[in-house]
Amino acid sequence: MALPMLLTDHWYDIRDLSNLTNPLLDFVGDNISSELAYILGPLIGFIASFLIFVLPSQLYVGVYGERKLIGRIQSRLGPNRVGPFGLIQPIADAIKLMQKEALTPKTADTIIMNLAPVVFVAPAVLLFAVIPFGPRMIVANVNVALLYYLAVSSLPVLAAFMAGWSGNNKYSLFGAMRIVAMSISYEVPLVLAMLGVVLFTDTLSLQGMVLWQKEWDIWVGMLMPVAFVIYFICVSAELNRTPTDIAEAESEIVAGYLTEYSGMKWGLFYGMDIGYALAASAFAATVFLGGWSMFGLDKIVPPWLLLVAKTHLFYMIFIWTRGTLPRLRIDQLMAFAWKFMLPVALANLLLVATERMLWVDAFDSKQVFLFLFMIVNFASAAAIIYAWARFLGYKPENHPTKPRLVKEAGGYVPVGREVR
């Protein structure tokens, strides 16, 4: 695939950070051995993405930002003691977790219990390999990146089940069963939504998707709002974020599959939950929000900075939903996945397939057709979601014949607010 040559090769052009590392790799490849350069390439890419994206985001968006923002949503201050504005709090947390003793119950399955954090963390590192940070800043430009991402991002369920089973604890087992059931339920509409994107962009490569969005000056999220909404809800269920975190609901089952974990092993689970959420945000930013491209702005602003900004924006919506919505019950969540998300995803797929077939035949006016599809899709998104929700939600028991006041139902009414 031809890359748009918008960047220069000078080392001071920080719009493409591979300018800084390529001389080193060329030197090693020419003078020492090409095998060493081959090994060094992904290592440097990994360290670079870790330094510019994963580590700061993990500490200051995932831990600090999330606690601070949820604190503000709940009229609290959030962390504000360690350092100025509590900025050193995440580092202090990490040091504390490192020091803590990791208890293992006598009846637990020790091998699986120690293996589970490793199985949980490893896919999180691998997910960032296929995210393109710029035209040339990508660790592994695989042509089946989307399938790879979907496959690897469903691996942590296995680790969660290992953790829940090995703890030899009732709550752990319940949490594990719940997370498996929920993850596989929400996997189906998520993959269907992704299928629509693949169908329209005609590629499985994430870099290819960004280039497609750049070529046609449109974001897939604007073109297929239903797919975007389905992706957001499904991924928030798969990541076990708060409106859907029944797998570790502390009011029902103590801490779910993490009940028997403590110390650094628990810390790995906690930290990598944020890692997965960041990876999912980066993936959403790449597939739905244009990735590193932004209507020509990427010629001035570094593309990797644009991707990081979009990722953080998406993560902010995660935090917002977490601070706003109450936790749902498991029957509600399962019914939502199978009765609402799946039919809506199928309808969206049919709609997108029809549009793509029309689009192939439109030779000269493809850009105009895209714009039309955008309007049609927004309208049909509203129509599909409203109609299906109306169809599902209209049950007699949800609509009592006679409205009741809170006071009549036995609820609490503050003094001075009585309805006369």
Partner 1 sequence: MLYEFGHIGILVIIAIVFPIGAVVTSWALQFARIRPAVPSDPVKEDIYECGVLTEGPSLVQFNFRFYYVALLFVLFDVEIIFLFPWALVYDTIGWQGYFEGAGFIGILALGILYAWRKRALEWR
**Please, which of residues 236-265 interact with partner 1 by CB under 8 A?**
254, 259-260, 263-265
Choice between 17 and 121, CB closer to partner 1 = 121
Least distance to partner 1 from the beta carbon of 93, Å?
Answer: 14
Counting Cα atoms < 13 Å in the Cβ hemisphere of 384 gives: 24
Asked whether 18 and 305 are in contact (CB, 8 A), the reply is no
Tell me if residue 49 falls in helix, strand or coil. Answer: helix
Q: Which of 69, 316, 353, 372 binds partner 1 (CB under 8 A)?
A: 353
Nearest approach, Cβ of 191 to partner 1 (angstroms)? 5
Which among 308, 311, 306 has a CA at the least distance from the CA of 280? Answer: 311
Least Å distance, CB 53 to partner 1, is 15
- Please check whether residue 223 is in contact with residue 348, taking contact to mean a CB–CB distance below 8 angstroms: no
155 binding partner 1? (CB under 8 A): no
Q: How many residues bind partner 1 (CB under 8 A)?
A: 84
- What is the closest distance, in whole angstroms, from the C-beta atom of residue 118 to partner 1 in the complex? 5
- The least CB distance from residue 61 to partner 1, in Å, is 20
CB of 418 to partner 1, least distance (A): 39
Q: Does 267 bind partner 1 (CB under 8 A)?
A: yes
Q: Is 169 in the site for partner 1 (CB under 8 A)?
A: yes
User: Binding residue for partner 1 (CB under 8 A) from 1, 10, 74, 106?
Assistant: 106
Q: Where do runs of H (alpha helix) occur along 75-223?
A: 89-99, 110-127, 145-153, 156-166, 170-201, 206-216, 220-223
C-beta closer to partner 1: residue 97 or 308: 97
Residue whose CB is less far from partner 1, 263 or 323: 263
Cα 282 to Cα 22, 182, 230, 285, 331: the distances in Å are: 24, 22, 16, 5, 30
- CB-wise, 213 or 259, nearer to partner 1? 259
33 near partner 1, rule: CB under 8 A: no
* 72 lies in the site for partner 1, by CB under 8 A: no
d(CA 137, CA 47): 12
Q: Which of 154, 153, 176 lies closest to 163, judged by CA?
A: 176
Q: Which of 100, 366, 404, 407 binds partner 1 (CB under 8 A)?
A: 100
Query: Closest distance between partner 1 and the C-beta of residue 202, in Å?
Result: 6
Q: What would the two tokens of residue 112 be? A: 């699986």
**What phi, psi does 414 have (nearest 5°)?**
-65, 150
Rounded Cα–Cα distance for residues 113 and 97 (Å)? 18
Structure tokens at 24: 């080193």
Among 69, 73, 88, 147, binds partner 1 (CB under 8 A): 147
Q: Which class for 374: exposed (0-12), middle (13-18), buried (19 or more C-beta within 10 A)?
A: middle
Is residue 57 a contact point for partner 1 (CB under 8 A)?
no
Nearer to partner 1, 212 or 318 (CB): 212
Min CB(138)–partner 1 separation in Å: 9
Q: Which residues within the stretch 332-351 sit at the binding site for partner 1 (CB under 8 A)?
A: 334-335, 338-339, 342-343, 346, 349-350
Q: Does 327 bind partner 1 (CB under 8 A)?
A: no
Distances in Å between the alpha carbon of 58 and those of 44, 62, 300, 394? 19, 5, 27, 42
Spatial contact of 131 and 138, defined as CB atoms under 8 Å apart: yes
- Residue pair 275/155 in contact (Cβ under 8 Å)? The answer is no
Q: Residue 91, interface with partner 1 (CB under 8 A)?
A: no
Rounded Cα gap, residues 164 and 356, in angstroms: 44
Q: Of 173, 210, 274, 307, which lies in the binding site for partner 1, with binding defined by CB under 8 A?
A: 173
* Interface with partner 1 in residues 361-420 (CB under 8 A): none
Q: Please check whether residue 138 is in contact with residue 304, taking contact to mean a CB–CB distance below 8 angstroms.
A: no
Question: In the complex with partner 1, which residue's Cβ is closer, 289 or 349?
Answer: 349
Distance of CA 15 to the CA centre of its chain: 25
Figure out which of the listed residues 20, 69, 73, 198 binds partner 1, where binding follows CB under 8 A: 198
Q: Which of 12, 75, 101, 417 binds partner 1 (CB under 8 A)?
A: 101
**Residues of span 211-230 touching partner 1 by CB under 8 A:** none
Toward partner 1, which CB reaches closer, 88 or 188?
188
Contact at 8 Å (CB) between 64 and 79? Answer: yes
Does the footprint of partner 1 cover residue 22 (CB under 8 A)?
no
Q: Which stretch binds partner 1 (CB under 8 A): 82-90, 115-123, 229-237, 396-404?
A: 115-123
**Using the rule CB under 8 A, is 235 a contact of partner 1?**
no
Provide CB contacts within 8 A for 38, sequence distance 6+: none
